[in-house]
A and B are shown apart, each in its own frame.
Chain A
Amino acid sequence: MSPATAQPATDRSPGLLPHERLQHLLDALSRSGYECIGPKLRDGAILYEHIDSVAELPLGVAVEQGPGSYRVDMTDSRRRFGWANGPQAIKPFLFAPREILWRATQREDGTLVFDARPPACKPLAVIGARACDLAALALQDKHFLGGTCPDPGYARRRDGLFIVAVHCSHPAQTCFCASTGDGPRATSGFDIALAELDDGFVAESGSDRGAAILDGLHLSSATTAQLVAAEEQGRHSSEVQRRALPGRNLQASLFANLEHPRWQEVAERCLSCGNCTSVCPTCFCHSEAEVPKLDGDSSLHEREWDSCFTQGHSYIHGFTVRPDTRTRYRQWLTHKLGGWHAQYGRSGCVGCGRCISWCPVGIDITEEAHAICGPQP
């Protein structure tokens, strides 16, 4: 369809954002008060960081992932999102790796004053979130915002969050979101979703504020051919995935196999280093500690990412519940793929494959799950 015959995109009908106009989207978000966070190539990986310009996005970058391996390659593609993911996406922006929860100050009379005001934060717009990231976000929301005591820092940052999803077009060898049902196409939880094609982005809104931003861009409607191409790309991204978990609910199977010899076997390979849980977009474990000022008059109460692979994670006074890697790995897998069903109504795995790529020794969660649970009907 030529530009002369293109129809303007109406509310909720997909528009086409040409590659050269992507900057207009960033500008519109900035004008609306958002700080834009987008993928950048840094130190050999795709990382989500502050961006001002589309020139900072990873143009033509391809990523090859395998167990314990992540390599970037440059291509002459015009695409900026032609890769699956990097070590982290949304999680660190909401569940901060390290943050001060409160400050306690001792007054002259010895009494303590607590200050737990969460620090001010600018609303963020994350550009390029994947379907798996959004599924993970929904789970983190459940954990941090559900129940009677929502986490104030998380809540404040989450409130301001604007999400521009980009449907995954180049799943990695390590991806298995199709098997968990979380991707590769983003279906909810975004403000705007983009399908990146060679001639631009098919853009649709998922919220009123997303629609308002897109309306302001005055996009022409995507053509039927473009819609079909986007659809086709999504199907392909699903079909090329070779990894899969043995089932969507492994709770019964895992807890029936707590003494399976595979736990010891994997413990001989596992470094118990916590890389898998740190890159996992749903893992939420943390530790808290006092960081007193040198003068002893005040103290910061600090929270930081912890992992079920550390000793401190299962330490109770004078006793470490899980002293070895066998019990720690078993904790991670039985909780992630089993216990989460009872706790959050679904598995804690969204199939992003990060734990496979970023494991220094390349342990594959799907392989371990198959070994322990066997094939599921």
Chain B
Amino acid sequence: MESTAKPKVAVHKFSSCDGCQLAFLNLGAALMQVAELVDFTHFAEAGPLAPDAAVDIAFVEGSIATPDDLQRIARVREQSRFLVTIGACATAGGVQALRNLANAGEWIAGVYARPEHIHSLDRSTPIAEHVKVDLELWGCPVNGRQVLGALRALLFGVMPAQENDKVCMECKRRQTVCVMVTRGRACMGPVTRTGCGALCPSFGRDCYACYGPAENPNTAALARRFEGLGLVPEAVARRFLFINNGAPAFRDAGLKSGERHDG
């Protein structure tokens, strides 16, 4: 870097499990190197607290699910040159967006002894539904390679390369044997975005779409195939309505299969 002042970076948490922040904290030695390249002005889980300080890059974890989230995200956007969402919650509303498809009030009343203390919105929504987002990193959780790649690219002043291929491409590059073709597993790989390194199939299990929809996903064809493999429509719907149920391609596919179940 030419300038002596290091770029300022914030890591914010909204409605989430904190897992995506671990992509930074689990970097090991690379985290020391990151700390030489940038100043973390706000990163509650790691220590620094300055939520309202102006930064060059803000990484945002979590969805907008409470009235407080709504106000904070507007402030974060105002104070940040680049806003990068990390993970399924921030990018698609997270698993908690399942309540968007149900009666959230009923669920809260059913779970909590004193529901009047719960202040949450009826819907859990992605950050991009509220403010402009410059870059989205998918995954539940995102991994170190993704956040470092994005950070490095932004420090160079360019956008990182898009990763939007299907998981299948990565399985084949790694010579991972297809679990759907050899074992009839209902794998979400053919509609899911790569980025995880095709982790689950490499351990013999089917992809469950934690990286969200790939570009040009043919969810209808995959849903038909799942039925051919013996899944009832309700089970097909559950494959789509999971971690990234808030992503439109999955939500629509899940609801469509669900209607077949109900109908």
Contacts and interface: CB of A to CB of B under 8 A. Distances in A.
A joins B in a complex: yes
B172 interface: yes
B129 interface: no
Interface in B118-161: 148-149, 152-153, 155-156, 161
Interface string B160-178: 0110111011001111111
A101 to B, nearest CB: 16
B153 to A, nearest CB: 8
B189 A273 contact: yes
B165 A275 contact: no
A140 to B, nearest CB: 16
Binding site of B, secondary structure by majority: helix, strand, loop or mixed?
A: helix
Interface string B183-194: 110010111000
A305 B173 contact: yes
Given A278-B172, A305-B172, A45 B165 contact: no
B181 A272 contact: no
Nearest to A311: B215
A97 B175 contact: yes
Given A92-B175, A311-B216, A269 B221 contact: yes
B26 to A, nearest CB: 15
Contacts of A361: 221-222, 224-225
B33 A295 contact: yes
Nearest to A45: B177
Given A307-B169, A357-B181, A294 B175 contact: no
Contacts of A291: 149
A361 B181 CA distance: 9
Nearest to A279: B172
A131 interface: no
B219 to A, nearest CB: 9
A271 B224 CA distance: 11
Contacts, number: 123
Nearest to B172: A278
B71 interface: no
A304 interface: yes
In which size bucket is the chain A interface? Answer: 35 or more
Contacts of A275: 168, 172, 178, 190
A289 B181 contact: no
B248 interface: no
Contact of A358 (B165, B178, B225): B178
A150 interface: no
Contacts of B168: 271, 273-275, 278, 360
Interface stretch (A63-71, A332-340, A369-377): A63-71
B166 A274 contact: yes
B108 interface: no
Nearest to A69: B181
Nearest to A271: B190
B218 interface: yes
Q: Of A271, A292, A295, A305, which is in contact with the most chain B CB atoms at under 10 Å from its CB?
A: A271
B218 A294 contact: no
A358 B181 contact: yes
A226 interface: no
A360 B162 contact: no
B37 interface: yes
A289 B161 contact: yes
B255 interface: no
A82 to B, nearest CB: 18
A284 B88 CA distance: 34
A271 B207 CA distance: 15
B182 interface: yes
A323 interface: yes
Nearest to A357: B181
B180 interface: yes
Nearest to A359: B181
B233 to A, nearest CB: 18
B172 A324 contact: no
B152 A292 contact: yes
Contacts of A271: 166, 168, 190-191, 217-218, 221-222
Given A294-B30, A360-B181, A274 B172 contact: yes
A238 B251 CA distance: 48
Nearest to A304: B173
A71 B30 CA distance: 44
B220 interface: yes
Nearest to B177: A43
5 contacts: A275-B190, A294-B37, A294-B152, A296-B155, A305-B173
Q: Closest 10 A-B residue pairs measured CB to CB?
A: A278-B172, A44-B182, A97-B173, A43-B177, A271-B190, A273-B190, A273-B168, A273-B166, A45-B177, A311-B215
Interface of A: 42-45, 47, 68-72, 87-88, 92, 97-98, 268-275, 278-279, 289, 291-292, 294-296, 304-307, 310-312, 323-325, 357-358, 360-361
Given A68-B225, A294-B37, A360-B168, 11 more contacts: A43-B176, A44-B177, A71-B182, A269-B221, A270-B218, A272-B216, A278-B172, A279-B172, A292-B152, A296-B152, A312-B165
